[in-house]
Amino acid sequence: MRDAVIAAAVRTPIGKRNGGLAGLHAVEVSATVLNELIARAGLDPALVEDVHWGNVISIGQQSGNIGRMAVLAAGWPESVPGFTVDRQCGSSQQAISTAAAAVVSGQADIVVAGGVEMMSNVPMGAATVPGTGDMGGPAVERYASELTAPGFNGRFNQGAGAELIAEQYGLSRTQLDEYSVESHERAAAAQDDGLFVDEIVAVRTAAGDVIADEGIRRGSTVEKLATLKAPFLDGGKITAGNASQISDGAAAVLITTSERAAELGMTPLARVHTAVCTGDDPVKMLTGPIPATQLALKRSGLDLGDIAFFEVNEAFAPVPLAWQADTGVSRDKLNPVGGAIALGHPLGCSGARLATTLIHHMRRTGGRYGLQTMCEGGGTANATIYELLE
């Protein structure tokens, strides 16, 4: 039976808003990751049969099928196709799923999956320019009564959804801020210990190489975070301090079969064991990782206890905290080297970034299984289980 293994996984440093990567074109950053990926695998790019590339705000420099543009900018043969995946924040995680499915089904032997988002250059909301109708249209009308709740103003709103989740799970502002501080502390410790070095490719800029994640705030405290205002709801709990950062970056993985990897002399890092996606409440929007995790475990035949580490994207602090409350997973297994609150959340990149970080962490620690899950706009969520290969 064919399988899907990851033969290489790499990412750029995550640039903070208007930081070291901001002057670069999204296609250029994508090309940097693509070329580093095949260099690490020792692979001729002519053997790549498709590139599945995640991106969310596909306008301006990220428009025109950025997956194909990245291939061309990388200097790969024109015979290598590419397409763009939009499952909101889960776009590049979904790209991994579709690439793995293509390999397992025999539609292809070697596929690259990943994604990019340059949020400094293409801001959130840029794609909702005036046209023939508002975003969502009849879908918004279906939930009109629920969208009258404070903070929503008749539209789907992730921040307001995060406020609802915090209320539902009885999470205080202090708990959210404490989680945020811990995320920064874990990321800082991981950076200081060199844990991210193997997964990062330096990005060349006119000002010099960007070699490290820029969003980590050292010395962050609950007291400092308590001074921040809540923008989504008067008297609310969600602030810039306990939410993910606006960021720039790209990440990619190389997916093939065990047999093809052996033929080409590549050493697989991990196997894509199980990949699922499910839908959930689009108003709260961010609770999807809970049923997605349950579905992934059911499909895989594994239990929570079989999973060594979990990456639950830190879009807002209530997301991993609600997930943890439902699953009972210990804190030491959850986002062990920090998450998007500290490292950043370049939307279309984040799924592949989480996969890259998780797989490298599994290889350092010897954990056999790792699970990543991601809340997504519209109330969907992906969950993917990886199995470590020796």
Please check the confidence at residue 67 and state whether its pLDDT lies above 80. Answer: yes
Residue 338 domain-assigned? yes
Give the dihedral sign, CA 15/18/21/27. positive
Please check the confidence at residue 109 and state whether its pLDDT lies above 90. Answer: yes
Q: Establish how many alpha carbons lie within 13 A of residue 77's alpha carbon, considering only the half-sphere containing its beta carbon.
A: 9
* Across 109-123, 127-141, 269-283, 313-327, least confident range: 127-141
Which contiguous run of DSSP H or E holds residue 31? Answer: helix 26-41
Is residue 375 annotated as a catalytic residue, yes or no?
Answer: yes
- Cβ atoms of 88 and 376 within 8 Å: the answer is yes
pLDDT band at 3 (very low <50, low <70, confident <90, very high): very high
Please check the confidence at residue 129 and state whether its pLDDT lies above 90. Answer: no
Residue 309 domain-assigned? yes
* Across 24-33, 59-68, 99-108, 128-137, least confident range: 128-137
Residue 302 domain-assigned? yes
pLDDT band at 125 (very low <50, low <70, confident <90, very high): confident
Tokens for 39?
């260099």
Residue 183 domain-assigned? no
Residue 277 belongs to domain with CATH number: 3.40.47.10
Interval 244-253 mean pLDDT: 99
Q: Distance between the two ends of the chain, CA-based, in angstroms?
A: 19
Is residue 89 annotated as a catalytic residue, yes or no?
Answer: yes
> Residue 285: left if φ>0, alpha if ψ -120 to 50, beta else—which one?
left
Is residue 86 classed as helix, strand or coil in its secondary structure?
A: coil
Please check the confidence at residue 143 and state whether its pLDDT lies above 70. Answer: yes
Q: Angle of helix 318-327 relative to helix 158-168, nearest 10 degrees?
A: 40
Report d(CA 181, CA 381) in Å as an integer.
Answer: 25
Rounded to 5 degrees, φ, ψ at 44 are -75, 120
Domain count along the chain: 1
213 compared with 136, residue with greater pLDDT? 213
User: Which tens digit of pLDDT belongs to each residue from 174-217?
Assistant: 999 999 999 999 999 999 999 999 999 999 999 999 999 999 99
Residue 310 domain-assigned? yes
- Cβ atoms of 125 and 59 within 8 Å: the answer is no
pLDDT score recorded for residue 201: 99
pLDDT band at 126 (very low <50, low <70, confident <90, very high): confident
Please check the confidence at residue 133 and state whether its pLDDT lies above 80. Answer: no
- Cβ atoms of 34 and 329 within 8 Å: the answer is no
Please check the confidence at residue 112 and state whether its pLDDT lies above 70. Answer: yes
pLDDT score recorded for residue 128: 76
Give pairs for 64-73: CB < 8 Å, separation 24+.
66/26, 66/27, 66/30, 66/116, 69/27, 69/30, 70/27, 70/30, 70/31, 70/34, 70/116, 71/34, 73/27, 73/28, 73/30, 73/31
User: Which tens digit of pLDDT belongs to each residue from 264-295?
Assistant: 999 999 999 999 999 999 999 999 999 999 99
Is residue 349 annotated as a catalytic residue, yes or no?
Answer: no
Range of the domain at 378: 272-383
Please check the confidence at residue 130 and state whether its pLDDT lies above 90. Answer: no
- For tokens 């279309």, the residue is 348
Interval 222-250 mean pLDDT: 98
Report d(CA 179, CA 235) in Å as an integer.
Answer: 19
In Å, how far from its chain's centre is CA 51?
Answer: 17
In Å, how far from its chain's centre is CA 262?
Answer: 29
Is residue 375 classed as helix, strand or coil in its secondary structure?
A: strand
Query: What integer best gives the mean pLDDT of the chain?
Result: 97
Closest CA to 10 of 32, 37, 41, 50: 37
Please check the confidence at residue 68 and state whether its pLDDT lies above 90. Answer: yes
Question: 52, 89, 184, 273: which one is catalytic?
Answer: 89
Q: Establish how many alpha carbons lie within 13 A of residue 84's alpha carbon, considering only the half-sphere containing its beta carbon.
A: 21
Interval 53-68 mean pLDDT: 97
Residue 143 domain-assigned? no
Beta bridge partners of 309: 370
- Cβ atoms of 22 and 61 within 8 Å: the answer is no
Residue 28 CB-density burial (10 A; 0-12 exposed, 13-18 middle, 19+ buried): buried
pLDDT score recorded for residue 334: 99
Rounded to 5 degrees, φ, ψ at 175 are -60, -40
Residue 320 domain-assigned? yes
pLDDT score recorded for residue 132: 65
Please check the confidence at residue 356 and state whether its pLDDT lies above 70. Answer: yes
Question: 345, 349, 360, 361: which one is catalytic?
Answer: 345
